[in-house]
Every structure is written in C-alpha cells, then in structure tokens.
C-alpha cells in the first residue's frame, strides 16, 4: 500500500535556505556599514521579518495550509502589533497632556524622610 502524503520538492527548501543566508548577510552588512540609526533598525527589522516569514511559510509548511489556519495564526500577532502602536501613540499624548496641565517638566513630589520609629519586639 502506498503512503498518503504530500512531498515538496527539495529545490524549494534549498532556495529558501539560500535566501535566508542572503538576508542574514544583508542584515550583518547593515550593521557593518553603520547606517544611520533609524534606517539601520528599520532594515534589520525588515530582514528579520523576511527571514521569519520564509521560515514559517516553508520550513513550518504554512504555505501549504488552509487559509483559515494561516489567518488564525497570523492575525493575532498583527492585532497585537497594532495595539502596541496605539498604546505608544497614546502614551505620547498622555505625557504631552501632563506637560500642558502641570506646565514644564513634571517632577515627582519628593517623599518625606523615613522616620525610624521603634518597632516593638
């Protein structure tokens, strides 16, 4: 009796392995050539996401799964990224409103010095 299953051509795996190698080299070159700070971090994150995407798609066989499963796995992290962006945006707004309300730089109110009261034994 023949085995039932799906075989993917090994050429795909070698191609993705080569792309991962190229993306890793490109990521290290961004660090080596000392790009400007924001461009450097942007490129490093882009290469990281590309590598992660290829690993998930090919080596974890997500490319060949049903669209509903792909959606169930990929949508929650994307929603979390959007929520993190909104929280960061809201944090800047909250800090700016504190500056407007209190005026100038906001310093915490200093606590009174501790008293060394005798503690009964």
Domain spans, the chain: 7-64, 66-103
Which of 5-14, 25-34, 90-99, 105-114 is least confident?
105-114
State the pTM of this model.
Answer: 0.59
In this predicted model, what pLDDT tens digit does every residue of 50-92 receive, in sequence order?
998 889 888 888 877 888 877 887 888 889 989 988 888 787 7
Spatial CB neighbours of 35, under 8 Å, sequence gap ≥ 6? 43
């Amino acid at each position: 009796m023949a085995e039932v299953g799906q075989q993917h051509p090994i050429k795909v795996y070698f191609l993705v392995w080569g792309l991962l190698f190229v993306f890793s080299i490109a990521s290290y070159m961004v660090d080596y050539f000392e790009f400007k700070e924001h461009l450097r971090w942007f490129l490093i994150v882009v290469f990281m996401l590309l590598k992660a995407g290829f690993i998930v798609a090919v080596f974890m066989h997500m490319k060949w799964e049903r669209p509903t499963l792909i959606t169930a796995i990929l949508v929650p992290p994307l929603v979390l990224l959007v929520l993190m962006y909104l929280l960061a945006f809201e944090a800047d707004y909250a800090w700016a409103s504190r500056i407007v309300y209190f005026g100038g730089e906001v310093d915490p109110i200093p606590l009174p010095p501790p008293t060394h009261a005798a503690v009964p034994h």
